[in-house]
Amino acid sequence: MLDVIAFQAKSAALLDAADYDRWMEDFDEDCLYQVLSVENLDLGYDLPLLLAKNKNMLRDRILSLREANIYNIHRDRHVLSLPVVTREGDLIKAVTSLVIYQSDQEGISTLFAVGRYEDEIRESPQGLRLKRRDVILDTYGIVRLLSTPL
């Protein structure tokens, strides 16, 4: 439980620091990372808002973000709840509430997203690793645009 809390807290802190290279280190090569709308899930649709079906796609997202995409200049700040942790064999499942604020260049912060992580985590010799992270958004009406990973 404590190690899962520390693991998720570190991951969020790396995002807030925009240190995406180190953030990606916590994912398996064959990971799944996706941002989903709770509206779609309720309707039985798995359409993603953002999808990486493996770590290479995650790398491509970050490359595109750095080199190709234009988006609002901002800082992210994640606030996480304590996780609800269950174990299935070797797999650790953690469901954690999530709030993200974005702050602009004039120092004004706005609530960007409310939702939850549904993580599937495994233990590796190098520490915990994400096999899968679903970011499920209650805030599925995306204000402005979705750029930096959640």
CB of 4 to another protein, least distance (A): 27
Q: Which of 3, 21, 30, 60 binds another protein (CB under 8 A)?
A: 60
Which candidate, 80, 87, 71, places its Cα nearest to that of 145?
71
Task: Please identify, using beta-carbon distances, which residue of 22 and 53 lies nearer to another protein.
Answer: 53
Q: Which of 69, 79, 104, 109 binds another protein (CB under 8 A)?
A: 69
Q: Which of 6, 79, 111, 142 binds another protein (CB under 8 A)?
A: 142
- Amino acid at site 16: D
Quick check: 127 binds another protein (CB under 8 A)?
A: no
User: CA-to-CA distance for 93 and 121, rounded, in angstroms?
Assistant: 6
Task: Please identify, using beta-carbon distances, which residue of 55 and 128 lies nearer to another protein.
Answer: 55
Contacts of another protein in 19-58 (CB under 8 A) = 35, 37, 39-40, 43, 45-51, 53-54, 56-57
- Would you say 92 and 4 are in contact if contact means Cβ atoms under 8 Å apart? yes
User: CA-to-CA distance for 136 and 117, rounded, in angstroms?
Assistant: 6
Which residues contact residue 115 at a Cβ distance below 8 angstroms, ignoring those fewer than 6 apart?
Answer: 38, 97, 98, 135, 136, 137, 138, 139, 150
Q: Which residues of 83-102 are buried (b: 16+ CB within 10 A; e: fewer)?
A: bebeeeeeebbbebebbbbb
**Residue 21 CB neighbour total at 10 angstroms:** 10
Quick check: 108 binds another protein (CB under 8 A)?
A: no
CB of 61 to another protein, least distance (A): 8
Quick check: 75 binds another protein (CB under 8 A)?
A: no
Which spans of this chain sit near another protein (rule: CB under 8 A)? 35, 37, 39-40, 43, 45-51, 53-54, 56-57, 59-61, 63-64, 67-72, 140-147
